[in-house]
Amino acid sequence: MIKIITGIYSTLLIIMLIGFNINIAIAQESTGTISGTVINAETKQPIISATIRIDGTKLGSITNKKGYFVINKVPVGIHLLKISSVGYQQIALADIVVVANRNKAVNSEMNSISVKSEGVTVSEDYFPKLIDNPASIKTLESQEIRRSPGSAEDIFRVMQSLPGVSTAGGKSAQLIVRGGSPDENLTLLDDIEIYNPIHFARSGESMGVISVINPSLLKKVDFLTGGFPSKYGDKMSSVFDMTLNDGNKEMFNTDVNLNLAGFGITVDGPITENSSVIFSLRRGFFDILTAAMNKPAAPRYYDAVGKVTYNLDDINKISLIGFYYLDQIDKAGFTKENAGISKYEYMTRDDYGAAFGINWQSLFSSKAFSLTTFSYSSNGWNTRLGTAINKNLKGDDIRENEYTLKTEITHITTKWLEFKGGAGVKFVDSKHTIWSPEDTTKSGQLIPASSVSYFPDLSEKYFGFIQSTIHPMSNLAFTAGLRYDNSSLTKENHISPRISGSYDLFQNTTLNAAYGIFYQTPAAYQIAIDTANHTLKSSKATHYIIGFEQRISDDTRLTVEAYYKDMNSVLTVNDLNNIISNTGIGYSQGFELYLQKKFTQGFVGSLSYTYSVSKRQDNINLPEYLFEYDRPHILNLIVGYEIFKSWNLGVKFQYATGNPYTPYIGVVKKQGMNFIVEGDRNSARYPDYHKIDVRLDKTFNLGSWSINAYLDLWNIYNRTNVISYTFQANADGTVKTNVREDFGILPVLGVNILF
């Protein structure tokens, strides 16, 4: 196996070294194509006669009656696309990469100038934003995801560098947003809810290693970290809204990706004149790596994502989306301690998920459109833990199927008024079986054996929302919305008001604010673990946000925000009996700064700083403690530069205060055995976390193939970052401290082959 790993690295190194010897003149003579559509951001109608030009060249095009354009014979390389049309805010699309003999699809939306005063608009808009969500939103596009250092081209690791997001370390891709838990984040893929978007996210220590979504599929990602509109529900921290590319309309393209994490292939292209497809398939290499390192675990992952788009006519479009993943872990001959003293020598675990859906978009008038979505999703896992004598001591079988039908309608009544409304229903079918033996906690308290089977009747969730965006003045806009949610499982009805506003104080300076109430129903697997949990209710969060945005230049902006999040009826778990209650309360508050420069003139960069405090109480009568994800100071600095033609260098510095943990203060003997005596909950902190990551990219042509080879070097000064401590009382009364560390210096080599 070591030879296999060495072979992978050697192959990737050779590919990078070839780049030094390629005749650059060949690449410079090669050309590709840019095509795409331009539509109205408010009405989704095509914009006719919009002008598209490639900055620094004489190349350009004009959109036809379908809003479509094609630009041929575009030199390979990175380009800046500028789009303009009478009555619309000009936009600039940076970082458009053209590859030899391929077509680059670029689909864009333009805001009408009536939305904002002509006197305060900039010459080109590099940072379009959602009118109904002006605060706490960040948008990243595919090239920004791909070139980010320290991410290995994983979308969730890229998002960990944004303000308000805390990292759990290099071994985790989970998102911890403004003091919330990872399960408080809503993830959407083309308007279809994805329950778990990260491989191995429920596998104990790994906490989620890599995204299920291949970044080459993504058009953009809208990341809403608070105060989101009323169309989003049943989560109380953030919204992660991914939009897939449509398949290429001009020609078939194939991308092959290989790195130490795995192998993937993406294919997209036209099916008929009115339809296209894009599809990705990946297989992980983690099992090969662990075998080569003689580790007991053998993790394997597989995922597949696809989309078929069909234009029925000029006003109706249908998209079919499919999603599937499988994670498998086998461990044998190892010793793994749980929260208590029982030891399990064998483990098998399968995590799986799938989603299939259809989106129907209809432009039924020049001022209105609808989006109707029907989807089926399934997710689950099963686990077996045991010893050589009994390999089935502890385990679970979890399965949940969801069927969702929803629709929303947007109507532009006048240039100053927009209405939006929608409704839907979700049917949930759950099956849960959980069992565990008698055990003892590390402090010596007895945990009785348990076995629970939970097969509730099919439950329903009904929801609806209305929303209005008003522009009473050219420099003022605000959105008010109301959401209704009903759950038959928890027998609840909730009404959630949301409001946001945007005011142009000065030219290029905008004041933004948002307020909203958000509810999150308990998951079926939480209800299932004990009959006492069948009366659980929803948790509640109230968001307050205020901030401003300053356009420093066309391609650079600064945003500053302060937020406060008040939480009630938070779920708290009793470690002794698995009983969960709604007695928790807490809050999270903070200040965020984000400076972002788009990729222009060969340079890109961002600076984010977050100061925050997150505290909880398990009961109003119990003491307050720091939440486990509390990190007061987080700093991320990223710079990227095109050092030579087709050579790019990126550097990221990351710093964060250490997470809190509960220390031990002594040892006590019970029934002849020594146990840990814990101190106050989360009263100590791990050492501060910091590292520098560097990424070097080389792009070159080999005939009709374009190859991008990269070296992503994590933690270049080999900082020892602590992820966690666990404490074990020895027979002689001493305490053994087990330290789980993040990655040391780690080279991640990869290659993308495009043909």
Each domain of the chain, given as residue ranges in start order, spans: 31-120, 131-712+720-754
Q: Are 248 and 276 in contact (CB under 8 A)?
A: yes
Could you read off the pLDDT of 446-465 as tens digits, one per residue? 777 778 888 888 899 999 99
- The pLDDT tens digits for 199-256 are 887 644 445 678 888 888 888 889 999 999 999 999 999 999 999 999 888 888 888 9
Residue 180 confidence class, pLDDT cut points 50, 70, 90: confident
Cα distance between residue 637 and residue 633, in whole Å: 13
Percent of the chain with pLDDT over 70: 90
Q: Residue 504 has which token pair?
A: 């142009």
* 491-509: pLDDT as tens digits: 999 999 999 999 998 888 9
Percent of the chain with pLDDT over 90: 42
Rounded to an integer, what distance in angstroms lies between the CA atom of residue 400 and that of residue 153? 30
Closest CA to 255 of 105, 54, 80: 105
What phi and psi, each to the nearest 5 degrees, are found at residue 387? Answer: -120, 180
> CA end-to-end span of the chain, whole Å?
30
Mean pLDDT of 344-364: 90
Range 31-120 has CATH code 1.10.10.10? no
What mean pLDDT, rounded, does the chain reach? 85
pLDDT for position 196: 83
Q: What is the DSSP string of 254-312?
A: EEEEEETTEEEEEEEEEEETTEEEEEEEEEE-HHHHHHHTT-SB--EEEEEEEEEEEE-
Predicted pLDDT of residue 393: 86
CA–CA dist 516, 237 (Å, integer):
11
DSSP per residue, 116-176: S-GGG--SSBS----TT--SSEEEEEHHHHHT-TTTTT-HHHHHTTSTTEE---TT----E
Residue 26 has pLDDT above 50, yes or no: no
* More reliable by pLDDT, 440 or 258: 258
pTM of the model: 0.87
Rounded CA-CA distance 346/385 in Å is: 6
Q: Which burial class, exposed, middle or buried, applies to 261 when counting CB atoms under 10 A from its CB (0-12, 13-18, 19+)?
A: buried
131-712+720-754 domain in CATH 2.40.170.20? yes
Report the C-alpha gap between 315 and 46 in whole angstroms: 10
